[in-house]
Amino acid sequence: MERTLVILKPSAIQRALAGEVIRRFERKGLKLCAIKMMQLSDELIQQHYAHLVDRPFFPRIKESMQATPVIVCCWEGIEAVQVVRDLAGTTNGRKAAPGSIRGDFGVSVQENIIHASDTVENAAIELNRFFGADEIFDYQQSALNFIYASDEL
C-alpha cells in the first residue's frame, strides 16, 4: 500500500469544501491515516516549495498558502499517489476535467483547492515534513475486502 499527502489549501477552507474533498477520497476507498489543521510557517512553506522559492510568483504562493490554516491528510491505498492525483485533476482548475476536485471546484492555478504529492518518493518526504511518526496511524480498514479484490491485496 502507498501513502500520500494531501493539503486542503486555504481556498478549500474559505469555500467550506473540506468535508466534500475528504468525502471524495473516502468514497473512492482510500484510507485516512492522518489528519490535522495547521498554520503553515514561512520555514515550512519554503521547504515544501523549495523548487519554486526563486520564481517570481513564489510570494503569491506563500501569501495564498498562509491566508488561513490548511488541513493536511495522509491517505493510503494501492497506487494511492496516482489515485489521488487523478481525483485532484490537473493543476489549472480551468483545464481540469469535470468530475475531478479541481475541475468541479477550481478555476485557478493557485487557488486550486488541494495539493497532492506527485510521486511515491515525494509523498514520503512530504509526509515526514508535515507529520511525526506518531501522528500517522496504521489500522485495519474493515471494508478492505470490499474495496480491493483478494488478489490485489
Active-site positions read 115
Q: CA of 89: how far to CAs of 30, 81, 111, in Å?
A: 17, 12, 13
What is the Cα–Cα distance from 11 to 111, expressed in whole angstroms?
6
Burial of 113 (0-12, 13-18, 19+ CB in 10 A): buried
